[in-house]
Amino acid sequence: MFDEEERGPDEQLRLQFEAISQLPPEEKEIVKELLDGMIIRYQSRRWDTSRRQAG
């Protein structure tokens, strides 16, 4: 359905993910929690903005 490049990270992020993959498991978990928090923050801002525009 999607080409491999369509859904994958851009080159800069791919290099960072490769570096993260070398971290110990507990460090990977910290990075994952930080990313999750940033994604949720971004999505909530987008949702709030679209809600304001619709109202």
Helix (H, G, I), strand (E, B) or coil at 43: helix
| pLDDT over threshold 70, residue 4 | no
Distance between CA atoms of residues 14 and 18, nearest Å: 6
Compute the mean pLDDT over every residue in the chain, rounded to the nearest whole number.
87
Which sequence spans correspond to the domains of the chain? 23-55
Contact yes or no for 38/30 (Cβ under 8 A): no
Residues in the chain: 55
Confidence of residue 42 (pLDDT cuts 50, 70, 90): very high
Side-chain-side CA neighbours of 41 within 13 Å: the count stands at 6
Confidence of residue 55 (pLDDT cuts 50, 70, 90): low
